Amino acid sequence: LDKTEALRQAKLELLKNKKYSSPLFWSAFVLYGE
């Protein structure tokens, strides 16, 4: 599992949960570097 896919899956898991689906909870996560 590469870093980009791990970040994608983490965001999708947050979106599944109504409590954390707001961009307030997941939009700050950004992948920098390799």
The per-residue pLDDT for 1 is 85
CA-nearest of 25, 23, 29, 24 to 6 is: 29
What is the pTM (predicted TM-score) of this model?
A: 0.70
Q: What is the pLDDT of residues 4-17, one digit of tens each?
A: 999 999 999 999 99
CA-CA distance, 22 to 10, in Å (whole number)?
A: 14
Q: Does pLDDT of 25 surpass 80?
A: yes
